Amino acid sequence: MAMPKKHHSSARRDRRRSHLGLKPSKPVLCAHCKQPTRPHRVCGNCGYYAGMEVTTPEE
């Protein structure tokens, strides 16, 4: 197993990992009701996903 020869500072470690953070997903418009919703999820407004009604929205 490889062993490091010298200790790396936390700043150096964090610079290396800076690109690993999650980026916020952009909202998309629902194809059925045109309301913004999260991608690849059932619309909370109308209950449709991929052109089919999955759930009935409670009002």
- Per-residue pLDDT 10s for the chain (59 aa) are 788 889 999 999 999 999 999 999 999 999 999 999 999 999 989 999 988 888 887 76
For the chain, the 3-state helix, strand and coil shares in percent, each to the nearest 5, are 15, 15, 70
Give the per-residue pLDDT at 57. 75
Question: What type of residue is 48?
Answer: Y
Q: Are 28 and 36 in contact (CB under 8 A)?
A: yes
Name residues whose C-beta falls within 8 Å of residue 54's C-beta, 6 or more positions apart in sequence.
42, 47, 48
Give the per-residue pLDDT at 59. 64
